[in-house]
Amino acid sequence: MTVEHLNELLLICSLVLLIAVVAVRVSSRSGLPSLLIYLGIGIAMGQDGIGGVAFDGAELTQILGYAALVVILAEGGLGTKWKEIKPALPQAAALSTIGVAVSVGVTAAGAHYLAGIDWHQALLIGAVVSSTDAAAVFSVLRNVPLPSRLTGVLEAESGFNDAPVVILVVAFSTVGPVEEWYVLLGTIALELAIGAAVGLTIGWLGAYGMRHVALPASGLYPIAVMAIAVSAYAAGALAHGSGFLAVYLAAVILGNAKLPHAPATRGFAEGLGWIGQIGMFVLLGLLVTPHKLIDDFVPALVIGLILTIVARPASVFTALLPFRVPWREKTLLSWAGLRGAVPIVLATIPMVSDVPGSERVFNIVFVLVVVYTLVQGPTLPWLARRLKLGNGKEAADLGIESAPLERLRGHLLSTSIGPTSRMHGVEVGELRMPAGAAVTLVVREDSSFVPSPTTVLRRGDELLVVATDQVRDAAEQRLQAVSQGGKLAGWLGTGGAPGRHHREQGPH
């Protein structure tokens, strides 16, 4: 590769990212799942599209897909609330083990007897599509006002079930006879145990270290947290355990450990997660050859119908049999088994292993994911309302971005009162903020409150200021001036150039 090639590659990648970012906005307004738009971008760039790019790198797609999935699981774990998933752990564990086994068996039987697929390919398809997609679940469910117990079950299941499914797909992709069922079950149990132990250990040690080590710059904290989470995956995999389970559990511990600069860390992880999703879906779209999908379209519809109408409900109702879960919640859990890029990435494993018929398996999985994502994703809120589970009383997860408030045409400004700041002892009303700016929240020690004009500010306080576009710079200058000159800054001639410690971001 020359510098000229690098320039062209950077231009293409940046344009793809920009188009994908716009696609998120279109997706949120239209209800069309964004993953389909990303796949469409890849297909348009491929050999059957306007780009004409011939790409057949199944092994490269698998490797990059694994890397993207690690980042997505880490981002999902960091945003998972422990209080929500703690009561859901037994149900999620049952769905990720017993539920997966039932789903694989029912889907494989349907693929063999109703779609005419031979048993080896049928088992591969059953295993590949039995994993719910973490990216789809994390993105969709946080915009659907479901009860927290259901959200916890679905998020934990999507974080757990990748591990046993990967083991099954790898086992079914071996050339030759598959191991005895009890050996396979023992392998799955051992890898899950090792992955859980590694993830919990690294997560706890990482959280302890991050709370007791003062880094010289706030921007280093998100990098360190993500590095810890990714190291959990690598250590788990090298220990012959489930790296996917390890990274998810480590991220859950880190995300609930009240680490410094937690909002910035979540924002950084979310950005990496979006890049992982976009890159993975576009690459999968490049890998597929649309004109080869025609012959496998009908079998894919049949298998998808079996999976959605029979296999997923059977797995949910069977796995949750020991638990007192109302039938309405079981019905919603059955419909909310969202598929996405994970099954398509897993479908590359038999291709890399040169399993006979693996290209057909990939094509069937691709069509199945696209069609049934179009059906399940947009109809999930409607079903929740029909079952009286999505009544809007549960607050959806609120994300506050480090970005302008588009609808309010304003900004969120955050600043800390340092040890030498003369803002200490100043009342909020004495800040004399410009019209259009106001101090809306004060974070003091472990509590936060809405200040009154007579609230006296102290060293160590974090202030959240809302300012309109027109007065944002003036608000920054006023905060800087008071920090340097105290309440009489305007009369003492103190300047107000924005300081480096003022930053536009979410609240701490």
Averaged pLDDT in 10-residue chunks for the chain of 508 residues: 82 85 68 71 79 76 88 87 84 91 94 90 91 70 69 82 85 70 81 92 93 80 93 94 91 88 85 86 84 88 93 94 90 85 86 86 90 82 80 42 50 83 89 89 87 90 87 86 81 45 38
Q: What does the alpha-carbon distance between residue 278 and residue 235 come to, in Å, rounded to a whole number? A: 26
Distances (CA, A) of 229 to 198, 200, 219, 236, 257: 11, 11, 17, 11, 13
Q: How many CB atoms lie within 10 A of CB 285?
A: 26
189 to 73, 242, 243, 393: CA distances (angstroms): 20, 10, 14, 39
Total Cβ atoms within 10 A of residue 325: 18
Q: Report pTM.
A: 0.71
- Going from N- to C-terminal start, the domains of the chain cover 33-386, 410-504
Q: What is the DSSP letter of 307?
A: I
Tokens linked to 157 = 């299941």
The position carrying tokens 């005419």 is 116
Res 471: pLDDT: 86
HSE on the CB side for 110, CA within 13 Å?
Answer: 24
Three-state secondary-structure class, residue 306: helix
34-55 burial code (b ≥16 CB/10 A, e <16): bbbbbbbbbbbbbbebebeeeb
Identify the three-state secondary structure at position 467. strand
CA distances, 453 to each of 21, 39, 240, 423, 431 (Å): 41, 53, 60, 14, 9
Rg over alpha carbons for the chain, rounded to the nearest Å, is 25
Query: Residue 356 is inside which H or E element, if any?
Result: none
Q: What is the pLDDT of residue 141?
A: 62
pLDDT, position 303: 94
- Tell me if 347 sits within 8 A of 288, measured CB to CB: no
Indicate the class that CATH gives domain 33-386: mainly alpha
Task: Tell me the C-alpha distance between 80 and 156, whole Å.
Answer: 9
Distance (Å, whole) CA 101 – CA 99: 5
CATH 3.30.70.1450 assigned to domain 410-504? The reply is: yes
Q: What are phi and psi of 53, to 5 degrees?
A: -85, 120
**Which residue do the tokens 């859901």 mark?**
88
3-class state of residue 392 by DSSP: coil
Handedness of CA 339, 345, 349, 355 (dihedral sign): positive
Helix boundaries (H) for 347-386: 348-352, 358-386
Q: Which residue is associated with the tokens 């970012």?
A: 21
Token pair in block for residue 186: 């023992």
Copy the structure tokens of residue 433: 């903020």
Decide: residue 354, CB within 10 A, 0-12 exposed, 13-18 middle, 19+ buried.
Answer: exposed
